[in-house]
Amino acid sequence: MKKLIVLLLSALLVLTSCGGGDVSELSQDTVSYGEQSEVSESEEVSKGVSAEESVPEEESEVSAEDTTVPEESEVSVPDETSKESEEYIPEETSKESDVSESEKTDAAVDQALKLIEEGKIKESYEVLYKSGTDAAKEMLKDFVVVYRKCETYDDFSELQSYDEYSYDENGFLIYEYSKTWHSVEYTYVNDENGNPIVCTQKDCETGDVETYEAVNTYDINGHLIKIAVGNHIEEYEYDTYGNVILKRTNRDSMGIGRPDTEYYKYEYNALGDIVKKYYSFISEPETVDYYEEHFYDNEGVLMKTEYYQNLAFGQADNFVHIETVTYHYDENGLLIKTIDTYLGNPTETMTTTYSDYLFFYRPQK
């Protein structure tokens, strides 16, 4: 039941944020609904600029002083009637060197849109990713990228889990095959905007079926502030930049016998990336039970997450470092491997690989 709710809520938040499926930041918190989306909402994407804004005014207006006139010793003075047509024109190579960043950006976006019209979604994604410009990064938010295979091995290279996934034409999970757990089928009912509001989960081993309907509430700025799936409720608070800074979850509604509310608090860097996430499971958010710290490269790509646990739950801080996860990507920025090191006694390492990606283009509405 909890997995179903997590799936439906995750699909809703992905559509709400259109975050690109940002598979480049898969971490442990993705099993808790809302985190993946929240991360994508605060991703390191800056606003693109149009070609018109980026062309300096002095370059767009050519004056008589800008016209290069050949020296008299090299070229004879043309007749007055043909002087205008004989004006010196800079070589093509010099024009090319003056192309602004925004003009290159527009070229990448135009090429990506053309590829999308041709049904080449993966190629479009790759063009935008390799461009790396602001407008390209902005458009990447409209992509959903998902993997179809996931395998986890322990220190002795023994398989711990193996999963395969199937998706519908919109990128929603419809079938999950597990070698180490039950296989599951998913079906959805969408609203007029294509957002799933009802999800049905069928256990292929037992035949058990569960169905849940989501009710979403938004503030005047269009931010999702409340999700209700049955008795399960999640609420969100935002800062002035639109970043989620607090999430509250009614844990008793999950049927695990604890009426406390879970709290998740977030801190961001100047680029809008989450740098710290705090968990409070049995108390108010002022007391932290767990926290995690994220580390990025110069391009804003998540490279490592460190996890810490408070040994005195609900009391004064007494944190110990318990886990480290590192992330590895291919040339297109797709996550291909995570290495999870548990700092217990003994230390244990799990390596998970991700492969066989699918690409979907879902423009923000």
Q: How far apart are CA 253 and CA 216, in angstroms?
A: 17
Domain range list for the chain: 2-45+141-361
Which has the closest alpha carbon to 224: 234, 213, 210, 211? 234
Q: Please report which helix (H) or strand (E) contains residue 357, including its range.
A: strand 348-361
**Contact between 196 and 362 (Cβ < 8 Å):** no
Tell me the per-residue pLDDT of 296-353, one tens digit each, with 9 for 90 and over. 999 899 999 999 998 876 666 789 999 999 999 999 999 999 999 998 778 899 999 9
Bridge partners, residue 264, by sequence: 247, 279
Q: What is the residue-level pLDDT of the chain in tens, covering all 365 positions? A: 445 455 555 555 544 444 333 443 333 333 333 333 343 444 443 444 444 444 444 444 444 444 444 444 444 444 544 444 444 444 444 444 455 555 555 799 999 999 999 999 999 999 999 998 889 999 999 999 999 999 999 999 999 999 999 999 888 999 999 887 889 999 998 877 777 889 999 999 899 999 988 888 989 988 999 988 877 889 999 999 999 999 988 755 445 555 567 889 999 999 899 999 998 876 566 778 899 999 999 989 999 999 999 887 666 678 999 999 999 999 999 999 999 999 877 889 999 999 999 999 988 76
Torsion, Cα 277 283 286 289, to 10 degrees, reads: -40
pLDDT score of 50? 41
Specify the pTM.
Answer: 0.68
Q: What angle do CA 240, 241, 244 make, to 5 degrees?
A: 90
Return phi, psi of residue 126, to 5°.
-65, -40
Dihedrals φ, ψ of 91, to 5°?
A: -65, 155
d(CA 249, CA 176): 26
